Chains A and B, each alone.
Chain A
C-alpha cells in the first residue's frame, strides 16, 4: 500500500527528484511538494486504490500529511467497518 502511494507521489509530484529521496515520514503537504491540485489528485488516487470514497470530514491535514499517515488512515477506516 505504502509503496503504491510512494510511487504515485514520486511519479506525479517529484519531477526531477529521485524516489529514493522521499521518506515515508516526510511532510508532503507543507513542504510544497504537492500543491492544492496535487492533493485532489492524490485523494482521487487513494479512493481508486481503496475503492472507497473519502467523506469530506476525513479530508483533513492529519490524514494526508505523510505517506505513513495516509496508510494509518486507510487502515483505520477498514477497522471501523
Chain B
C-alpha cells in the first residue's frame, strides 16, 4: 500500500522528538499545529519548468521528503520510500490583477491543510504573481523537518534550480541521509553515559514545582489555537544588544550563546513578574546536530529540554544573568540526543526558541523568506517565544506564539509590551532589580492607575449635617425602633441635641472622646449622635467585651466619659474614667435648652475610633474622621438605596465597623433602624431573629451570617438589598443565598478595612457572570483610589496578583496614639503627591471584566466571622499563662470530627467504632446490640405475616377504584425483585415503578425487563432532568447519593399512584433499614403500634417538606393536599415477609430470570452508589452502609463477616471520579469548619478549660482557641519560621476538637441536654452544639423529639429539631409553645 516494492522500503521507529510530535498530532488530528510553512518571495524571473524539474530532483535526493508514517498495533513507524511521485503545482496569477490580500487569503486557508502522513509529509506550490515575482510556498510537517533543515533544503533547491537552468542538473550531490541519525539515536540511547544524563534530567524535573501561570490563567482547557505576534526589535535595539553581548560580564563563547542568555534572563524575569512565582521553567530546543554531517542533513533533529531556574526577589538583571549563564552550560552539556522524554516534554508551558538562520538569495534572485505560523501550536505551550535572528537582517525579530485560550485578543499585545519593557530595562541598566523595573506601558498605566479610580473631588457633608437635613425633610417618619420605644426623626434629632448640649455643659468639651458602653438600642444611637453633635468622637464598646479589652479601649482612647446604662454599670467598677449613666438623666434632659448648641462640626475632626486586633497583643485604634465617614455614608446611600428608604436591622456588634452601614445609611436617607438586642450570654444569633421577624428590606452582614441562614426557606423575605462585607464571599454561598430569597434580591459584595472606613470597593453580584470561586470585590467607591502593586510598588498588569493599597478621602489618617504603626502601614502614595496610601496586606488582582478579585492575605491575620484577628494577639495572651514557655495559635480548616487510626468493630454486628456515638462495652459489644436484646421481643409486634398483607389487599380490593392494587418500587436489585415476584404470586395487580437515575447498570436494566416480562406486570420508568443536581445536593447534605434518590423515588411514585388511584406503594426496604431509619426503642414504650405508624407518617411528611434539590426541582405540590397521604399509603413488603439472604438468592436463581450484575460493585443495580460510599467514607470516615448492615446482622439476615467485607471494600477511585465529574460534584472544602487551635510548650499538660477561662478575661469569645495541644517543641522550617504545615498535620492526629462547652442554664435546657446525651450517647452536650454535627440523624431526631414531647407533655413536630438544631434554640421553642398553651388555657 505504501510503496510498490516493499523490499525497497526502509522502516524505522520514531526518534524521541518525532514521538512527541506524533503524539501531539494524534491528540489533535484536525489541527495543523505542526505545519512548518515557509513562503519565499522571489523578486525575479523564475522559469516554472526548471523549478518543477529541480523540485522533482530534490525529492529524489532528500530522504526526509520521502518519509511517511503509519501505525501498527499502536506503534508508529516511519518508512523511507525509495520513490515518491510528486508533481509540484504551479499557480499562474500573472494575468490576474493580483492583490496582496488575495495572497494572504490564499495563504490563510492553505496553511491549515492537513497531511495524510501515510502518503506525504510536505507540499510545495509555486505561485507566479508576475513575470518578475513569484512565491514559493513550502509546507513540511514538523515530523520531518526543523528550522535548520528548512535552510538546508532551501539551499539545495536553489542549487538544483541553478543547475537545471544551466543544464547540469546531474552534477548536484545527494544529501546526507537522515537514516544515519536514526541509527545514531538508537545507539546513543544504549551508551552507559546515558544513565547519568537521564539522572540529571530526572533531578531537574523533580525540582519543577509548578508551571508559571501566565497572568494567572491555568490553561486547563487550552486548545491548539494560537496567534503569532511579531515584534521587530529595530536596528537600534539590535545594535545595542549586540554591543551588550560584548561586555565583559555578558560575554560568552559565542555571540549566540550570549544572546540566548540575555533572552533567557529577560524571559525568566518576565515570567517571574507576571506569575509571581520564583521557581520557573521554560522549554528550549537543542539542535542535536553534533557532527558536520548532521549539520547538513535534512530532517527533524531538534529536541526540547526544560530549562529550570529560580529568580530571587532581590535579583538584579545582572545577578540573574550570571546564574542563567551557568545554568545554560549545564543545560547544553546534558541536552544530549535522545535524552528527552514524554515527561520532560510536558514539564513546561513556555518555550524559548533561539533561531539563528539566514536564507540567502535563491539562485541569484533576491529572496525574502518568511516563516509562517499555522495559527495552531501545542496546546500545552501557552506561550512560545522565538528569537528569530536572520543573518541578513539588520534587526532581530521576536515571534510570540500565544495560545488564544490563555490570551484574549486584547491581551496579545500586552505580552510583547511587557516583555519589551523588561528587555529595555535590561539593556538600559542591568544592575537594577528585576522587580523594580516597570512593566506597564503608558496607556496601560493610565488605565490601571488613573482611569480605574474616580478621584473626583467635592465637598463632603458630615453625617450630622446629613441627618439634620433628613430630620427636617421627614420629621415624622420613624427613625428607630427598639424593644422598648421608637423615635421619629424629629424626636431623635431633638433628644440627641439635648444630650449633646447636656454633655457639653456637664462632662465633655469639643474634641473629646466619649466611650459608649451600651447594648444595641435606641440609647446607643442617641448617645452616638449626641457625641458627634457635641464635636466629640465616639468609641463604641460592645457590652459583652472582656473586662481587660474594655479597660484597654477606654484607657488608650483617653475617653473623658463612658456613657452607659444602669444595668451595665457593674462591669465598669474597676474603671476610673467618669461614668455617665443615661438612665439617670432622661428626666433632666427634658429641660435642656439647645439653642446655644454649636451646629458646625469641623469635617477634619475625628468621628470615631474603632479598635481592631493588634498583633502585639494590644488592640489598635483606627481614627476615622468626619470626611471619611461622610464620604462612605454618602456613597453607600447612592449605591445601595438610591430610590427607597431602607429599613436596616441593627444586629451586629456596635464596635465592628461593618455596623456603621446599618446605622447611618437609614439615618441620612429617611429609612429606619430596627434594633435587635444581643443575648446576655452565648453567641449572637440575632440574625435568626431578623430573618424570622421579616421586618427589614435591607441588611448589612458577613458571609458567616449567611452560612447561618443558608438552608432556610427565605422565599418570603422582604429583604431587597443585601450588603455583604467583612470576609471573602464564596460564589457558591452567594448563589445559594440568591436562590433562597425572592428574585428581586440584590447582593453587593463590599470590601474595606476599618482603616479605609467600612467599605471602599464594591461589586454587585451577578450569578451568571461569576466564574471565580469567590465573588469579586469589584470597583472602587467614589473618591477612593485602589492600587494593586508588586513588591516594589509598581502596578501589576491586569490579571496578575499584587498587594492591595488604598488611598482617597475615606482613608483613616492612622492609628490612635501609635505613630510607628501608622508610618508602617500608611505609606506615601507614589501616584498622588502628598497623599498617603494604606497597605492592606491583602492580595488581589484585576480580572478581565475589570473587577477586583480578593485573593487572601499575606500575613497571619485571619478573619473569624468577618472579624479581623491577629493570631499574634492571642499568642501574646496565651504566652502569659504561667508555665507556658512558647506557643503558636493557628486557624485550622478542617472537619471537627477526626478519624482515629484504629477502628474496632462490634464483635456481634460489626458496627465500626468510628460510627458517631458508637459505644462498646467491655466485651466489645456495641450499645445497639446490647440494648436490642431488651426490646427485640417487643419489636416483633411491629412485624406481620404474609397473610396480613394479603388481607390488606383483599380489603382494599373492595373499594379499589383504579386498575392496580399497588405500585411496587422496583429498583432492579435483589430485594425488590423478590418482593415483586411474591406480590404477583399473591395475585395482586401490580404496577412496577423504577427510577431511571441515569446510572442503572445495563445488567440491572436487563434484569428488570426480563423480570417484568416473566411476571407479566406493567412497568414504568420515572425520570427527572434534575437528577444530577439531586445527586450533588444529596452528596453535600448526606454524603451519599441514596438519600436523594430515595426522595426522588417517593415523590415521583406518589404522583403516579395518585394519578392512577393506586392505594398502596410497596417498598422493598429491608428490616435492617427499618431500624436504621425509624424503629427505635422509644416507639415500643407503649404497645400502640398504630402510634408507631402515625409517627412514621409524620416523619415522612416532614421529610418531604425539607427544602432540598428534590423539593426544588420536582413538582410536589400534590403533597400539600393533606389527604394525599391517606389516599396513597406506604407498605413495607419486608414488614410482612421475613427471609434470609441465602434463601432469597436461591429463589431468584431458581424462579426468576434474574442474574447478578457484574458491573455495579456490591450494589445489584446502581453504578452511582459507589460514589456515595466513596464520599461518605472519605468525609465521614466510615461507609454509609455500616449502620444499616449492622442491623441486617442483628436481624440475622446477613453474617457479620459478609457485612464487614462489604463495608471495608476498596472502591475504584477512577470510576468514582469520572462519575463525579459527570454529575458535576466537586468535593466541597468550603463548608469545613475553621477552628482556632493553641499549641504550647510546657512541662506538663494544662487543662484546656483553665486556659480558656483565663483567655476569656482578656479576649472576646471568638478569639479563644477551642482546642489546645501541648508540644515538645514548636516545629520550625529550614528558614527558622514556624512550620505551620507541620502543625496542621499534628492536629489531624489529635482527637476531637470540641465546640466550646456551654452548660445548660434553664430547666428546659437541662432536661433537653439529658435527653440528647442519652440518645446520642455523649457524656455531656453543650447548649450550642449542633445536632447534626454531633452525630444526629433522622432516627435520633425521632427519638429525641419523642422523649422531649413526653417530658414536656407536648406534641411538637418531629422535624422541629432540624429547624432548631441546638439545645438552646430547641428549648426556646419548647418554652414558647408552653407559654402559648398556658395563655390559651388561662383565657
- Chain A interface residues toward B at CB < 8 A: 12-16, 29-30, 34-37, 39-41, 43-44, 56, 59, 61, 64
Note all chain A residues with C-beta closer than 8 A to B333: 40, 43-44
Q: Which of B253-299 contact A (CB under 8 A)?
A: 253-257, 260, 286-287, 289-293, 295-296
Sample of 20 more A-B contacts, CB < 8 Å, known A15-B295, A37-B332, A44-B333: A12-B290, A12-B291, A13-B292, A15-B292, A29-B254, A30-B255, A34-B254, A35-B256, A35-B287, A36-B252, A36-B256, A36-B260, A37-B289, A39-B254, A40-B332, A40-B333, A56-B326, A56-B329, A59-B329, A64-B253
Note all chain A residues with C-beta closer than 8 A to B295: 15
Report whether A37 and B253 are in contact in the complex, using a CB–CB cutoff of 8 Å. no
Distance (Å) between the CB of A9 and the closest chain B CB? 11
Report whether A39 and B292 are in contact in the complex, using a CB–CB cutoff of 8 Å. no
Note all chain B residues with C-beta closer than 8 A to A16: 292
B325's nearest neighbour on chain A, judged by CB, is: A56
Q: For the complex, what is the distance from the CA of A40 to the CA of B329, rounded to whole Å?
A: 7
B764 CB–A CB distance under 8 Å: no
B1324 CB–A CB distance under 8 Å: no
What are 25 A-B residue pairs whose CB atoms fall within 8 Å in the complex? Answer: A12-B290, A13-B292, A14-B292, A15-B295, A16-B292, A29-B253, A30-B254, A30-B255, A34-B254, A35-B254, A36-B252, A36-B254, A36-B256, A36-B332, A37-B286, A37-B287, A37-B289, A37-B332, A39-B254, A40-B329, A41-B290, A56-B326, A59-B253, A61-B251, A64-B253
Distance (Å) between the CB of A26 and the closest chain B CB? 15
Interface centre among B253, B256, B260, B286, by most chain A C-beta atoms within 10 angstroms, is: B253
Which are the 4 A-B pairs with shortest beta-carbon distances?
Answer: A15-B292, A36-B257, A39-B253, A40-B332
Interface centre among A14, A15, A16, A44, by most chain B C-beta atoms within 10 angstroms, is: A15
Note all chain B residues with C-beta closer than 8 A to A34: 254
Contact with A along B137-177 (1 / 0, CB 8 A): 00000000000000000000000000000000000000000
Distance (Å) between the CB of A37 and the closest chain B CB? 6
Q: For the complex, what is the distance from the CA of A56 to the CA of B332, rounded to whole Å?
A: 13
Note all chain B residues with C-beta closer than 8 A to A43: 333
Q: Is the interface of A mostly helix, strand, loop or mixed?
A: helix
Q: For the complex, what is the distance from the CA of A64 to the CA of B292, rounded to whole Å?
A: 20
Report whether B257 and A39 are in contact in the complex, using a CB–CB cutoff of 8 Å. yes
B256's nearest neighbour on chain A, judged by CB, is: A36
B288's nearest neighbour on chain A, judged by CB, is: A37
Q: For the complex, what is the distance from the CA of A30 to the CA of B252, rounded to whole Å?
A: 11
Q: For the complex, what is the distance from the CA of A61 to the CA of B295, rounded to whole Å?
A: 24
Q: For the complex, what is the distance from the CA of A65 to the CA of B256, rounded to whole Å?
A: 16
Distance (Å) between the CB of A29 and the closest chain B CB? 5
Note all chain A residues with C-beta closer than 8 A to B290: 12, 37, 41
Distance (Å) between the CB of A70 and the closest chain B CB? 12
Q: For the complex, what is the distance from the CA of A60 to the CA of B1109, rounded to whole Å?
A: 72
Note all chain A residues with C-beta closer than 8 A to B255: 30
Distance (Å) between the CB of B196 and the closest chain A CB? 12
Note all chain A residues with C-beta closer than 8 A to B260: 36
Q: For the complex, what is the distance from the CA of A25 to the CA of B292, rounded to whole Å?
A: 22
B287's nearest neighbour on chain A, judged by CB, is: A37
Q: For the complex, what is the distance from the CA of A15 to the CA of B295, rounded to whole Å?
A: 9
B331's nearest neighbour on chain A, judged by CB, is: A40
Distance (Å) between the CB of A18 and the closest chain B CB? 13
Note all chain A residues with C-beta closer than 8 A to B256: 35-36
Distance (Å) between the CB of B180 and the closest chain A CB? 15
Interface centre among A36, A39, A59, A61, by most chain B C-beta atoms within 10 angstroms, is: A36
Note all chain A residues with C-beta closer than 8 A to B289: 37
Q: For the complex, what is the distance from the CA of A44 to the CA of B336, rounded to whole Å?
A: 12
Report whether A12 and B292 are in contact in the complex, using a CB–CB cutoff of 8 Å. yes
Q: For the complex, what is the distance from the CA of A56 to the CA of B290, rounded to whole Å?
A: 22
Report whether A36 and B253 are in contact in the complex, using a CB–CB cutoff of 8 Å. yes
Distance (Å) between the CB of A69 and the closest chain B CB? 12
Report whether A61 and B291 are in contact in the complex, using a CB–CB cutoff of 8 Å. no
Note all chain B residues with C-beta closer than 8 A to A61: 251-253
A36's nearest neighbour on chain B, judged by CB, is: B257
Interface centre among A35, A43, A64, by most chain B C-beta atoms within 10 angstroms, is: A35
Note all chain B residues with C-beta closer than 8 A to A15: 292-293, 295-296
Note all chain A residues with C-beta closer than 8 A to B287: 35, 37
B254's nearest neighbour on chain A, judged by CB, is: A36
B391's nearest neighbour on chain A, judged by CB, is: A32
Distance (Å) between the CB of B501 and the closest chain A CB? 82
Note all chain B residues with C-beta closer than 8 A to A64: 253
Note all chain A residues with C-beta closer than 8 A to B326: 56
A13's nearest neighbour on chain B, judged by CB, is: B292
Q: For the complex, what is the distance from the CA of A16 to the CA of B292, rounded to whole Å?
A: 8
Note all chain B residues with C-beta closer than 8 A to A29: 253-254
Distance (Å) between the CB of B1039 and the closest chain A CB? 58
Q: For the complex, what is the distance from the CA of A43 to the CA of B254, rounded to whole Å?
A: 14
Distance (Å) between the CB of B1146 and the closest chain A CB? 77
Note all chain A residues with C-beta closer than 8 A to B257: 36, 39
B259's nearest neighbour on chain A, judged by CB, is: A36
Distance (Å) between the CB of A15 and the closest chain B CB? 3
Contact with A along B332-348 (1 / 0, CB 8 A): 11000000000000000
Note all chain B residues with C-beta closer than 8 A to A14: 292
Note all chain A residues with C-beta closer than 8 A to B291: 12
A47's nearest neighbour on chain B, judged by CB, is: B333
Q: Which of B1133-1162 contact A (CB under 8 A)?
A: none
Q: For the complex, what is the distance from the CA of A5 to the CA of B448, rounded to whole Å?
A: 59
Q: For the complex, what is the distance from the CA of A62 to the CA of B1113, rounded to whole Å?
A: 80
Q: For the complex, what is the distance from the CA of A29 to the CA of B254, rounded to whole Å?
A: 6
Contact with A along B684-716 (1 / 0, CB 8 A): 000000000000000000000000000000000
Q: For the complex, what is the distance from the CA of A37 to the CA of B333, rounded to whole Å?
A: 8
Q: For the complex, what is the distance from the CA of A59 to the CA of B251, rounded to whole Å?
A: 11
Q: For the complex, what is the distance from the CA of A79 to the CA of B287, rounded to whole Å?
A: 37
Distance (Å) between the CB of A78 and the closest chain B CB? 23
Distance (Å) between the CB of A59 and the closest chain B CB? 7
Distance (Å) between the CB of A28 and the closest chain B CB? 10
Q: For the complex, what is the distance from the CA of A26 to the CA of B1045, rounded to whole Å?
A: 84
Distance (Å) between the CB of B259 and the closest chain A CB? 10
Distance (Å) between the CB of B788 and the closest chain A CB? 39
Contact with A along B315-331 (1 / 0, CB 8 A): 00000000000100100
Distance (Å) between the CB of A48 and the closest chain B CB? 11
B326's nearest neighbour on chain A, judged by CB, is: A56
Q: For the complex, what is the distance from the CA of A12 to the CA of B293, rounded to whole Å?
A: 9
Q: For the complex, what is the distance from the CA of A64 to the CA of B254, rounded to whole Å?
A: 11
Q: For the complex, what is the distance from the CA of A14 to the CA of B255, rounded to whole Å?
A: 19
Q: For the complex, what is the distance from the CA of A49 to the CA of B256, rounded to whole Å?
A: 27
Note all chain B residues with C-beta closer than 8 A to A36: 252-254, 256-257, 260, 332
Q: For the complex, what is the distance from the CA of A43 to the CA of B256, rounded to whole Å?
A: 17
Q: For the complex, what is the distance from the CA of A57 to the CA of B1080, rounded to whole Å?
A: 83
Note all chain A residues with C-beta closer than 8 A to B293: 15
Q: For the complex, what is the distance from the CA of A43 to the CA of B291, rounded to whole Å?
A: 15
Note all chain B residues with C-beta closer than 8 A to A56: 326, 329
Q: For the complex, what is the distance from the CA of A15 to the CA of B254, rounded to whole Å?
A: 19
Distance (Å) between the CB of B338 and the closest chain A CB? 15
A56's nearest neighbour on chain B, judged by CB, is: B326
Q: For the complex, what is the distance from the CA of A39 to the CA of B253, rounded to whole Å?
A: 7
Interface centre among A16, A59, A64, by most chain B C-beta atoms within 10 angstroms, is: A59
Q: For the complex, what is the distance from the CA of A50 to the CA of B252, rounded to whole Å?
A: 23
Q: For the complex, what is the distance from the CA of A35 to the CA of B259, rounded to whole Å?
A: 13
